[in-house]
């Protein structure tokens, strides 16, 4: 098969997988609203013009939101995070922390507890154990919670919203903000599933295109939406009486801050809420920029962080292989594959062209290869990622752009076919950490192999070594015995 044939074959294979695999990504707001008993118009796509600056910011925001959506779709069950550490910073020492081991201990409404069990949740996840007693406490606690995707954050705040709304009162009591329509719809799906036994419950989506007549008063208990439309509904159109909101959730704060407009709108909404309203903010990362934003949104919070090993390189063995050109790199890769048993590998290339070429070469040699490339839309990317996750392909070849922010739980080896560099050609250490952090998760030992085109890339490798203060050892891929020793 030629490279091109192969590209075509994989494309067809990916498309074939789609129908069965990505159903729950194709969320239809109209259906969701119908399911929630809503009679309002279905949202449509925005066709408004944007200027160039907004477009580029939107591009970044879209990439970040896409990654988040893919992560959600990939993590359809809880991660095994037994070796992560939970850190809780609490401002009020008079209110002791305690954690629960069962949902019964939370004294939920019977209909809600039934919904939780019907979702197959037997016991709270690690973050839920600690967060839920605080979130459901009286008086309510404000919270900033950070933990990676798939640890149960969404379920925690949805449970809180559902616990706090009184369905006898036909007005909005909980507002939830998400960065995109798709992410808002995903939250809505969890609300509807968990609250399905709460017969009177009504949910509405404040998202682009969902137009209500002027002068409307919303009677739904929970409003989920994106900052722009929510701001209009709350302030300009006054569909919602802000003084009656008792719970405010801001999800995916790290994705939200990719757009300045979203930040400003979120802050303006939050300012209109009463002091008594419980505020919560969730994020998958804990960067300074996220925390600065979080502190503007949530006053006097309990801060919960779930730390994972990924943030350190301590348990990852790092090597480099000197090569002169791509052919030599390919031979080195073949030697590694010939000498050691590799579970699953991720291989990072600098360009789409190299990734395509490498995928076709490896596939020709009989390897089961997945290719995450720039041509794929989000559903296709999900299909590739799912196949890899399910072990149908043992090798995933990708470029930086595609893999950024996507959370693949465990691979045995990461190969930097090309070292990560920034726009100015300098070492991109943050990306390096993100790439190789995919191996060595949860305290297991990981392996990272860097291919170095001499001599220029040696300098980049040394920059990475200096940055992390860790030696990257030379490796000769001609010596099978030496190769065996590295695993």
Ligand X SMILES: Nc1ncnc2c1ncn2[C@@H]1O[C@H](COP(=O)(O)OP(=O)(O)OP(=O)(O)O)[C@@H](O)[C@H]1O
Residues within the interface to ligand X (CB under 6 A):
71-72, 75-78, 121, 124-125, 128, 149-155, 284
Q: CB of 143: closest distance to ligand X in angstroms?
A: 14
Q: CB of 171: closest distance to ligand X in angstroms?
A: 27
- Tell me the C-alpha to C-alpha distance, in Å, between residue 222 and each of 22, 177, 278: 27, 11, 14
Task: DSSP letter for 1, please.
Answer: -
Minimal CA–CA distance to 407: which of 25, 69, 179? Answer: 69
Q: CB of 390: closest distance to ligand X in angstroms?
A: 16
Minimal CA–CA distance to 175: which of 184, 453, 459, 134? Answer: 184
Nearer to ligand X, 121 or 468 (CB): 121
Residues in the chain: 487
Task: Give SS3 for 373.
Answer: coil
Helices 352-364 and 3-21 cross at an angle (nearest 10°) of 90
Query: From CA 197, how far away is CA 108, in angstroms rounded?
Result: 13
Nearer to ligand X, 120 or 469 (CB): 120
Nearer to ligand X, 155 or 316 (CB): 155
Q: CB of 255: closest distance to ligand X in angstroms?
A: 10
Nearer to ligand X, 369 or 408 (CB): 408
Nearer to ligand X, 150 or 420 (CB): 150
Q: CB of 301: closest distance to ligand X in angstroms?
A: 18
Query: From CA 395, how far away is CA 347, in angstroms rounded?
Result: 7
Minimal CA–CA distance to 421: which of 448, 450, 381? Answer: 450
Q: CB of 348: closest distance to ligand X in angstroms?
A: 23
Q: CB of 75: closest distance to ligand X in angstroms?
A: 5
The strand pairing partners of 307, in sequence order, are 85
- Tell me the C-alpha to C-alpha distance, in Å, between residue 300 and each of 92, 217, 252, 279: 9, 32, 20, 10
Nearer to ligand X, 124 or 225 (CB): 124
Query: From CA 258, how far away is CA 417, in angstroms rounded?
Result: 29
Q: Is residue 359 within 8 Å of residue 14, measured between CB atoms?
A: no
Give the gyration radius of the chain's Cα atoms. Answer: 24
Q: Is residue 485 within 8 Å of residue 330, measured between CB atoms?
A: no
Nearer to ligand X, 152 or 420 (CB): 152
Q: CB of 68: closest distance to ligand X in angstroms?
A: 7
Give the pair of three-digit tokens for residue 141.
């606690």
Q: CB of 174: closest distance to ligand X in angstroms?
A: 17
Nearer to ligand X, 35 or 78 (CB): 78
Nearer to ligand X, 125 or 439 (CB): 125
Q: CB of 256: closest distance to ligand X in angstroms?
A: 13
* Half-sphere exposure at residue 104, Cβ-oriented, CA atoms within 13 angstroms: 1
174's enclosing H/E stretch is strand 174-177
3-state secondary structure 17-84: HHHHHCHHHCCCHHHHHHHCCCCCCCCCCCCCCCCHHHHHHHHHHHHHHHHHHHHHHHCCCCCCCCCC
């Amino acid at each position: 098969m030629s490279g091109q044939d192969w590209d075509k074959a994989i494309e067809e294979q990916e498309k074939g997988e789609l129908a069965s695999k990505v159903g729950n990504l194709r969320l239809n707001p109209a259906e969701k609203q119908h399911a929630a008993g809503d009679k309002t118009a279905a949202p449509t796509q925005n066709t408004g013009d944007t200027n160039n600056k907004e477009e580029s910011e939107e591009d970044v925001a879209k990439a970040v939101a896409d990654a988040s959506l893919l992560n959600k779709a990939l993590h359809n069950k809880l991660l095994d995070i037994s070796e992560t550490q939970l850190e809780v910073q609490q401002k009020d020492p008079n209110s002791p922390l305690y954690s629960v081991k069962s949902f019964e201990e939370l004294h939920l409404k019977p209909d809600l507890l039934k919904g939780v069990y019907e979702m197959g949740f037997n016991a709270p996840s690690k973050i839920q154990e600690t967060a839920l007693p605080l979130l459901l406490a009286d008086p309510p606690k404000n919270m900033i919670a950070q933990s990676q995707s798939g640890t149960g954050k969404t379920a925690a705040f949805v449970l809180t919203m559902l616990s706090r709304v009184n369905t006898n009162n036909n007005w909005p009591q909980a507002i939830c903000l998400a960065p995109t329509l798709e992410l808002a719809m995903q939250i809505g799906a969890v609300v509807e599933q968990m609250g399905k036994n709460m017969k009177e419950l009504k949910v509405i989506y404040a998202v682009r295109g969902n137009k209500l007549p002027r002068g409307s008063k919303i009677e739904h208990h929970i409003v989920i939406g994106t900052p722009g439309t929510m701001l209009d509904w709350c302030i300009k159109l006054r569909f919602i009486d802000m003084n009656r909101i008792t719970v405010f959730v801001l999800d995916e704060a790290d994705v939200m801050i990719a757009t300045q407009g979203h930040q400003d709108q979120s802050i303006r909404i939050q300012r209109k809420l009463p002091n008594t309203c419980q505020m919560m903010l969730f994020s998958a990362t804990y960067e300074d920029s996220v925390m600065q934003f979080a502190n503007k949104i949530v006053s006097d919070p309990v801060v919960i962080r779930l730390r994972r090993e990924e943030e350190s390189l301590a348990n990852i063995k790092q090597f480099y292989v000197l090569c002169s050109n791509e052919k030599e790199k390919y031979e080195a890769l073949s030697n590694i594959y010939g000498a050691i048993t590799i579970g699953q590998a991720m291989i990072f290339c600098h360009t789409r062209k190299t990734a395509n070429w490498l995928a076709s070469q490896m596939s020709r040699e009989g390897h089961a290869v997945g290719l995450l490339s720039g041509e794929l839309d989000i559903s296709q990317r999900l299909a590739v990622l799912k196949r890899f996750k399910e072990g149908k392909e043992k090798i995933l070849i990708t470029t930086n752009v595609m893999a950024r922010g996507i959370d693949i739980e465990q691979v045995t080896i990461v190969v930097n076919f090309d070292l990560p560099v920034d726009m100015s050609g300098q070492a991109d250490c943050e990306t390096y950490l993100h790439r190789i952090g995919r191996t060595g998760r949860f305290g297991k030992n990981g392996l990272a192999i860097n291919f170095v085109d001499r001599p220029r890339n040696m300098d980049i490798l040394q920059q990475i070594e200096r940055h992390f203060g860790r030696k990257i050892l030379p490796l000769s891929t001609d010596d099978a015995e030496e190769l065996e020793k590295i695993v």
